[in-house]
Amino acid sequence: MRISKSSILFTFLLMFTSMAGLSTVTHAETLAFKVGKVVTFDDQERVINNATVIVVDGKITAIGKSKEIMIPAGAKVIEHEDLWLVPGMVECHNHTGGGSSDLHDYVYLTNPGLRTLESLVPDNPEMVRARAGGVTTILTIPGSGNNMSGFGTILKTAGGSVEESVLKAPGSLKIAQAGNPERYFYGVGRSFMNFNTRQTLRKAKDYHLARTEWEEGKLAVEPAFNLNWEEFRPLFRRETVASVHTQIYQVLMTTVKMVAGEFNIRTVLDHSTFDAWKVAPLVNENDSIYTINGPRQLHYDRTQRRLMGNAARWWQGGVRKLGINTDSPVVPQEELFYQASMACYYGWKPYEALKGVTRIPAEALMMDHRLGSITVGLDADFCLWTGDPIDPRSSCEMTVIDGEVTYEASEKRVF
């Protein structure tokens, strides 16, 4: 088995941060959370009243009715029998996990070698606010001023070092099909942007196929190693996703046909606003596509002369892999729950909206084996709320990440 040079570089970076004196990952003692309600979003979609959740070594080890759960000897019991315990929210379109200027390098229309990993600023003030708003995981991606701006990083909103925070790098490839790259300095239209995106992906795919043939012993001579294309290989193995800034139905239709169709890349349709919901029948044909709507939650449709709730129209079109994003800092990440509330005000369903900021984005980023539900074996990432998080009157009272209490409103309330 060959280890890619990009993996070696990432490992070296983590080793370097540890050698530089930054702390290593630690977990709190055994904890038992006794609460009024747990919304699990597990495979059985259980909602458990008067429940207890046990956390050992940063992982969830037991969930059930309090009268049925044995609390381990010596466990610290955190009792809030008037609060809801829900999975930590996952924001999969974020630009605040690193230095903002470093995430917006618009040198060329495609910048395949760039990535956000090197620009991360763990536990920055925006992450403090994220935790106070119930957001425990983000995908920090480059900007959308060019067609392909590089690779994003999936990280927790807690952790004092890169090693502690990062879950997956690269976490996605950022593509902007249209809707911002038109402002590139010499001006481009959709025809050239589509050509430019396609020819870049073709070069990356050709490189991947050649390296794969050599690794399988079908080529005698090793193809030249190219760092620009190396991190594309998980895309073509469907081990990671493309996050595509795409909106209005013509542009979104091209994304579905090109990125998800022609190149068979697992695709997350970021934004998906204006009248993009008209492409729902085409989206439904590809089971691996996730639609993450936002930050606009409504659109005035001139053909029908009325306001449309974007998420509601996607849902009415049969799209079930549907979530919400903020595009933070366009809308602050701590308002992710409020964006879901707005989606419900304009016609979506509250339970599905809560799932759309927890389980669905975790699945979209291929991280549901770690995040997004209250399931035995998953990371202990969850929040305690005064009520349904989709109700704007509710507030986040406690945030737990990897079994550590990282925000407690009773000690220092942020919101």
pLDDT greater than 50 at residue 22 = no
Q: Is 29 within a domain? A: no
Check which CATH number belongs to the domain holding 230 and give it: 3.20.20.140
Task: Write down the pLDDT at residue 355.
Answer: 98
> Out of 46-60, 252-266, 302-316, which region has the weakest mean confidence (pLDDT)?
302-316
pLDDT greater than 50 at residue 258 = yes
Residue in this structure with the two tokens 């009268």, named with its chain if needed: 67
DSSP 85-152: EEEPEEEEEES-SB-GGGG---SSSB-TT-BSGGGB-TT-HHHHHHHHTTEEEEEE---SSSSEEEEE
Per the structure, how many domains does the chain have?
1
pLDDT band at 284 (very low <50, low <70, confident <90, very high): very high
Q: Is 102 within a domain? A: yes
Task: Write down the pLDDT at residue 7.
Answer: 46
Q: Is 405 within a domain? A: no
pLDDT greater than 90 at residue 107 = no
Average model confidence (pLDDT) across the chain: 92
In 188-240 the beta strands, taken as DSSP E runs, fall at: none
> Out of 204-208, 227-231, 383-387, which region has the weakest mean confidence (pLDDT)?
227-231
pLDDT greater than 90 at residue 56 = yes
pTM above 0.85, yes or no: yes
Q: What is the mean pLDDT of residues 359-363?
A: 98
| Proportion of the chain above pLDDT 70, given as a percent | 93
Over the stretch 296-315, which tens digit does the pLDDT of each residue have? 999 998 888 989 999 999 99
pLDDT band at 183 (very low <50, low <70, confident <90, very high): confident
Q: Is 209 within a domain? A: yes
> Out of 112-121, 207-216, 230-239, 343-352, which region has the weakest mean confidence (pLDDT)?
112-121
Task: Write down the pLDDT at residue 97.
Answer: 93
Q: Is 111 within a domain? A: yes
pLDDT greater than 70 at residue 26 = no
What is the 3-state secondary structure of 135-201?
A: EEEEEECCCCCCCEEEEEEEEECCCCCHHHHEEEEEEEEEEECCCCHHHCCCCCCHHHHHHHHHHHH
Q: Is 134 within a domain? A: yes
Task: Write down the pLDDT at residue 28.
Answer: 58
pLDDT band at 27 (very low <50, low <70, confident <90, very high): low
Domain of 272 in residue numbering reads as: 5-21+88-372
